[in-house]
Amino acid sequence: YLPDLDPARLELVEIWRGLRPCTPDGLPFLGRSRRYGNLTVAAGHAMIGLSLGPISGEIVSRLVVGEEPGFDLELLRPERFG
């Protein structure tokens, strides 16, 4: 709460917009590529990327060092659409 803030006196400095990459089913791509063994994917988080970023990073780090991710990633596999 900013009681002294007067929106009429604010100056617009910059407008920025970015893409929100989404998958057809709304779930992110997360896991190792079956086609390319050295590729680990974490993408398509759409509007929940900030929320899912920490756990996605944890999962990717586990996969990269050869550990189990802690749960089944089958629903999130990168190749699920073809």
Q: What percent of the chain has pLDDT over 70?
A: 100
What is the value of pTM for the model shown? 0.74
Average pLDDT value for residue range 27-47: 94
Banded model confidence at residue 29, pLDDT cuts 50, 70, 90 = very high
Q: How distant, in Å, are the alpha carbons of 14, 20, 26, 67 from that of 17?
A: 10, 10, 20, 37
Report the b/e string of 43-71 with b at 16+ CB within 10 A: ebbeeeeeeeeeebeebbeebeeeeebee
Please state the domain extents for the chain.
20-76
Q: How distant, in Å, are the alpha carbons of 2, 16, 30, 32 from that of 39?
A: 47, 31, 11, 6
Residue-wise pLDDT for 50-76, tens only, equals 899 999 999 999 999 999 999 899 999
